[in-house]
Amino acid sequence: MDRHLSKQLAQVEAALNSLSEAIENDSESPQSLGNGLRIEDLGYTAFSQFRSSLLQLLRTPLHHPHRPALPSGSSSEAETPTIRDLHTRVQGRPYSIPVRLHLAHTYLVEGYPDLAVGEAYKALLLVDEAGDESGEYHELATAALRSDIFGIGGEYEKKQMGDEEDEDEITEQAIKLYSLASYTLLLTSVLILPCPQTALSQSLIASNSHPSCAPLASIVKNLRTLTNIHNPTSSNSTLIVNTASQDPNTERAMVRRELYPWNTHEAERFSDDALEFLNQKLREVAGGLVEVRVTELPVLGTGGTPTQKITKQLGLFATRDLAPGTLLLDEPSLLTASSRLHDTFCDACGISISITSTTEPTPCPSCDDTLFCSPTCLELAQNSYHPSLCNCALDAVARDAPPAQAADALYTLLVLRVLAMAETQGVHPLDLGEVRFLWGDYTNLGDSESHNGGEDESRAEKLCHANGSGGKSHITSTTAAPAKTLPWTFASANLTPLHALEKMDVNIFDDGGRYAPWVLNTLFAKFRGVASARQGSDGRPEVGAVHPLWCLANHSCDPNVRWKWEGRMRFWVRGAGERVVWKGGREGNSEAGLKKGEEVLSHYCDVELDVDERREWAAGALGGMCMCERCIWEKARQGDGAVGK
């Protein structure tokens, strides 16, 4: 790592250490808060343990791949609440600031800084609510805080209080303390990701809230220098400074793309019930021409190295001989999103209204600016998602994003559509029929001992086997850092979804865990592997969609079907003259049509691209290199000089 960059990192880390010590010593107010109340008494028994553990974490270099496994002071793993335990606590006490900080801290020491950011940010929002008498949740946040300090579960007996004035003063000091603790966790997590521009943006807000806090001023100063340093050239550097980002909240990091051990909503996709459900849906859109079966595929390659591992997945297979040109799937579109603010697309199916028939578009009767291509699409929208969005003033959210952020913005809009579907239908987002059976191309589950609870791991491993990631053969060892293949930004993971939920009149604190950060990450993981998009004339994606039956067809760079999406997703069987010509002199598969029992192979990228470009796409969308027969052959020929790069 560049010496100047290392120096700046060290200074930022030193400032964070000072901030934690300021919390420990309560530099903005005396450590004794009066009437015998100590800082340790604010919130929960383990606050002292929490503080020392946070200091230990901060003193570990920011670029270090491993974090402490247990909070400092714990004598055994059994004494540490599992992440699932803490989820239950948050759902039981959704307005408790220290409970959310405890969850955020646990995420951080378990190696999930992105999830820690989400909970630390919600803790900050609760701090703001407690300190703002006009806040929508002020009374609830204040009541929870006073309960943490003085009531049931608090460390301090109210009988020790002198009068109500002392109680108000102590509550005010607690708000300051938790604000600093929340910012410390947030800034630490954001820097570990690493997103220094986002950290600078948040530290400026923190410094404005605490103008007399010297460590925060030091953090701001050093982050200003750090974010002006050019990208490191060393291949060993783990900090990538994104100086091109116009909005610091859209600065990108890569995070773990996992089937989280506590996720109880993932379907067992290979079960008889799941296959029957999917085949029933296929009969409605494919007329019995194809069926879903369990198949085997090569595991995506990572780190530039091909793999010989095999994984189980679902796939589509012809139920009879199918001639070239046969329409074998006709799936309506509903889970769609448009990235353009002023172009006119059907809000439900995504078709450009300008290319439909001469009939007038159908507006929503309650919000005239939302248009549909037909009364049928309006009815589908009203039954599925639109009531939660009607008159919510979300039209401009994530739309017309700069070119570098256009794809990320479209994925965010698809996630927002799912949130509206979940609210309208009253179900968990991961239980929606359009989402439940999508596979997120999860790369690993992390060290089986790093999640604080055998019950979680056993279920995760069961699903890992059942859903095709291969069980323990894909679990990261204790000597390897977890793979990070899921793009993340502070805006897409936190700011935009929370803003949309608030516009939909959803209580973002007391949501039963339906919209927790890990749920949003799971949605992004699923969509990045299966969403399709149509580009506009400027080369940017303008409309995206997820078709849960279409995406059951596995990818090949030598597909035997072609597809087209215009309000509906359709598959046709390719003829002999439509098969791909392999680069390097080898003819591809020239057989016409599909035979009974043959797998339907689609394509998720432009198959005319060179092998390196196709694999670059696969690494970004799926988390690894494509290992289809054509890619392997062309890459080998490329090494022989027979295929151009």
Among the candidates 214, 245, 276, a domain finishes at: 245
Residues 238 and 295 in one domain: no
Q: Does 323 have pLDDT greater than 80?
A: yes
CB 361 within 8 A of CB 632: no
Residues 158 and 294 in one domain: no
Return mean pLDDT, the chain. Answer: 77
Residues 223 and 79 in one domain: yes
- The confidence score (pLDDT) of residue 140 equals 96
Residues 241 and 298 in one domain: no
Confidence of residue 632 (pLDDT cuts 50, 70, 90): confident
CA 531-532-537 angle, 5° bins: 140
Helix, strand and coil percent figures for the chain, each rounded to 5: 45, 10, 45
Lowest-pLDDT range of 108-117, 124-133, 392-401: 392-401
Domain count, the chain: 2
Q: Does 57 have pLDDT greater than 80?
A: no
Pairing of strands 568-573, 601-602: unpaired
Q: pLDDT per residue over 242-301, tens digit each? A: 444 468 888 999 999 999 999 999 999 999 999 999 999 999 999 999 999 999 877 776
Residues 197 and 320 in one domain: no
In a domain, 277, yes or no: no
Q: Average pLDDT in the 319-332 region?
A: 94
In a domain, 18, yes or no: yes
Backbone angles phi, psi at 93, to 5 degrees: -135, 70
- The confidence score (pLDDT) of residue 637 equals 80
Tell me which residue of 331, 186, 226 sits closest to 2, measured CA to CA: 226
Q: Which helix (H) or strand (E) holds 253?
A: strand 253-255
CB 553 within 8 A of CB 561: yes
Residues 185 and 293 in one domain: no
Coil vs helix vs strand at 472: helix
Q: Does 54 have pLDDT greater than 50?
A: no
Residues 235 and 301 in one domain: no
Strand partners, 555: 602
Tell me which residue of 641, 614, 634 sits closest to 625, measured CA to CA: 614
Q: Does 204 have pLDDT greater than 90?
A: yes
Joined tokens for residue 151: 């009531």
Most confident of 12-16, 503-507, 641-645: 503-507
Range of the domain at 306: 287-328+547-640
Q: Does 12 have pLDDT greater than 50?
A: yes
Q: Does 305 have pLDDT greater than 90?
A: no
Q: Does 80 have pLDDT greater than 80?
A: no
In a domain, 447, yes or no: no
What is the C-alpha to C-alpha distance for residues 183 and 20, in angstroms, rounded to an integer? 10
Residues 85 and 137 in one domain: yes
In a domain, 155, yes or no: yes
- The confidence score (pLDDT) of residue 335 equals 95
Helix axes 3-25, 214-227, angle to 10 degrees: 160
Q: Does 322 have pLDDT greater than 90?
A: yes
Q: Average pLDDT in the 585-595 region?
A: 71
Residues 307 and 233 in one domain: no
CA atoms within 13 A on the CB side of 85: 12
Give the distance, in angstroms, between the CA of residue 142 and the centroid of all CA atoms in the same chain: 31
What's the CATH code of the domain at 293?
A: 2.170.270.10
Can you list the positions of beta strands (E) in 505-591? 532-535, 541-546, 554-555, 561-565, 568-573
Q: Which helix (H) or strand (E) holds 183?
A: helix 164-192
What is the C-alpha to C-alpha distance for residues 403 and 383, in angstroms, rounded to an integer? 34
Residues 178 and 292 in one domain: no
Q: pLDDT per residue over 397-441, tens digit each? A: 888 888 888 888 999 999 999 999 999 999 999 999 999 999 888
In a domain, 171, yes or no: yes
Residues 85 and 156 in one domain: yes
Contacts of 593 (CB under 8 A, 6+ apart): 321, 322, 323, 324, 326, 573, 575
pTM of the model as a whole: 0.82
What is the C-alpha to C-alpha distance for residues 459 and 461, in angstroms, rounded to an integer? 5
Q: Does 39 have pLDDT greater than 60?
A: no
Contacts of 299 (CB under 8 A, 6+ apart): 307, 309, 310, 311, 470, 474, 624, 627
Residues 230 and 291 in one domain: no
Amino acid (1-letter code) at residue 506: V
| Burial track 3-21 (b if 16+ CB lie within 10 A, e otherwise) | eebeebbebbbbbbbbbbe
Coil vs helix vs strand at 487: strand
CB 346 within 8 A of CB 596: no
In a domain, 98, yes or no: yes
- The confidence score (pLDDT) of residue 129 equals 97
Q: pLDDT per residue over 490-540, tens digit each? A: 999 999 999 999 999 999 999 999 999 999 999 999 998 888 888 877 778
Q: pLDDT per residue over 465-475, tens digit each? A: 344 333 222 22
Residue with tokens 């947030």: 186
CB 170 within 8 A of CB 26: no
Among the candidates 227, 245, 263, a domain finishes at: 245
